[in-house]
A and B are shown apart, each in its own frame.
Chain A
Amino acid sequence: MSFGIRFFPQEASSIAGSVDALFYTLLAFAVALGLFLTVLVVGYAVKYRIGSAADRTGARARSLPLEMAWTIASLVMAFIFFGWGAVLFVRRDRPPPDAVEIAGLGKQWMWEFRHPGGQREINELHVPVGKAVVVSLASQDVIHSFYVPAFRVKQDAVPGRTANVWFIATQPGRYHLFCAEYCGTQHSEMGGWVTVLAPEQYASWLGSQGEGESLATSGGKLFRALGCSGCHGNFSKVRAPGLDGVFGQPVALANRQTVIADERYLRDSILVPNKEIAAGYQPVMPSFDGLVDEAELQMLMAYLKSLSLQSPSFPAAKNEAPQ
C-alpha cells in the first residue's frame, strides 16, 4: 500500500492520540497559512510582473488596520496553540496514583531497568498494557534521555537528580526505545525495545524472570549494610529522624522552613546531609556521596518508599520539630 514508506508514527499510549490531535490541527493550520501565503506571493509575482497590464492604482505602503488585524490574529492563534500544548504538557507531572514504578538507569551506553519485584533487564523494558507505569530515571554518568516515540514521551536522565516519566501503553507490541540526548561515542546504539504485554502475559513474563528479591528488600539490606539503621532504626541510641512513613510527608527543617520529603529531598539527605537538616537534630550524618552508586540509591529509595506504604497510619511525627 504505502510501499513500506512510513508517514505517521505508531500511536501506542494513552496520550499519543491527544498529542497527535494537537499536532495534526497545528499541521492543518500551518499548511493552510503556508498555502495562503504561497498563493498570495506567487499570485502577486505573476499579476504584477514587470510590463503586465494589471491595474496598479490604489497601491499602499502601509495600512494600520490591516497590520493591526494580522498582529492580533497571530496573537490569538499563538495563544490557542500555547494553551492547548500547555494543558497536555502539565499532565506529565501528575502520574496516576496506582502506577507500577520501575527504576530506569542510563549509563554509557545502555538502559538498565529494575522492576519492583527485582527483575532486571538491559535495553529491554516489559510493561503491561493498560496499566500506568512510572519510570524513575537516573543517570550514572552523562545526560541521557528516555524516548519512546510510539508513546510520545521523553525525559532526560540528568546525573545528580531523579526524574519521572509515566505512560499507559494501549497496544501490545514492540516499540523502539531510544536515547535522545547525545551521550558520547555509541549514542546511536543506546536503546532497545519496549515490549507491551497483555496483563496475563506480563504476569507470566515476570514469573519467568526468576524469583529475585524485590527492589525494596535489596534496599532494606543495603540500609542495614551501610549502617543507616544504626542511627535511623527504631531502637537506636543516636538520635536521628525515624524514616517510617517519611516519604511524601512534610518535614520541618532547622532553618524554620518546611519541605516535602520527595525523591529529591531523600536523595540530597543521603548525599548532602548538611543541606537541609530536620529540625531538632544535630548535623552529624556523614555524606554517602561516593559510597553508593546510582543503582544503589534507587534501591534505597524504593526501600524508603516501601516504609510509607507499610504504615500509612504512622505519620512522620517523630520527624517534626518538638514544638
Chain B
Amino acid sequence: MKSPTTSIAFDRPARETAADSFAMWVLIGSEVMLFGAILLVFMFARLSYGDAFAGAAKHLSLPLGTANTVVLITSSFAMALAHMYTAARRWRAAGWALAATALLGVVFLAIKATEYAREFSEGLAPVLGAPFIYKGPDPVHAEFFFGLYFAMTSLHALHLICGVIVIGGILALWPRTIEASRFRRVQAIGLYWHFVDIVWVFLFPVLYLINR
C-alpha cells in the first residue's frame, strides 16, 4: 500500500503540505538575497554611471520586453488557475492549466532568445568574446550595463527553465500521483513560479523602463 506522505517524517498529508509550502517560502527568502545582491550591484553602478546606463537601456527592445512581461503575467494567471482547480479537485482542468503555464514559460524563453540573438547580431553582447560595437556616448560603461543585463536576465531565465522542467516532471508523473501529493506539488511550484514572475516584474522596469 502506498503511504499518503512522501517523507517518512510526516504522519499526515496535511502536515506535509504545510511543511512543503513553508520550505518553499524559506527558499524564496534565500532567492531574494541572491537577486537582491545582484540588483544592489546594478543600483550601485546605475548611480555611478546614470547617463551611460540610460543611453544603453534605450538599445534594449521595449516591444519584446513588454510582450514578455505580458506573457509571464499571463502564465502566473494560468498557475493561479491550476491552484484553484487543484483545490477544487478538478484534476484534468488543473493539468491543462499547468501545461498552459509551462507553455507560456517556453514562449517567454523563446522571445528572450530572439532578443538575445538580436543583441548578439547588433554587437551589444559583450560576452563569450563577442565584439562589443556601440556608437552611443561612453561605450565603456554601456558595456558594463550590457554585462549586467546579460547576467541578470540569464539568471532569471535559468530560474524559469528550472520551473518549466519541474512542471514538466509534475505533469509526466500526474497520472501516477496520489491526490494529496498532486495538491502539495502544485502548491509548492505555484509559489516558486509566482516568485520568478515577480523577479521579472522588478527586472523589467529597472532594465527597460528607467530613463526611457
Contacts and interface: CB of A to CB of B under 8 A. Distances in A.
Touch A–B, Cβ below 8 Å:
yes
B140 A275 contact: no
B48 A289 contact: no
A221 B52 CA distance: 32
A217 interface: no
A289 B143 CA distance: 15
B140 A274 contact: no
Interface residues of A, number: 6
A144 B52 CA distance: 30
A274 B137 contact: yes
B119 interface: no
Contacts of A272: 49, 138, 141
A31 B48 CA distance: 48
The secondary structure that dominates the B interface is helix
B51 interface: yes
A286 to B, nearest CB: 10
B48 A275 contact: yes
Nearest to A274: B138
A176 B137 CA distance: 47
A287 interface: yes
Contacts of A287: 138, 140
Contacts of B48: 275
Interface string A248-269: 0000000000000000000000
A83 B133 CA distance: 53
Nearest to B52: A274
A275 B144 CA distance: 14
A289 B144 CA distance: 15
Interface of B: 48-49, 51-52, 137-138, 140-141
13 contacts: A272-B49, A272-B138, A272-B141, A274-B51, A274-B52, A274-B137, A274-B138, A275-B48, A275-B49, A283-B137, A287-B138, A287-B140, A289-B140
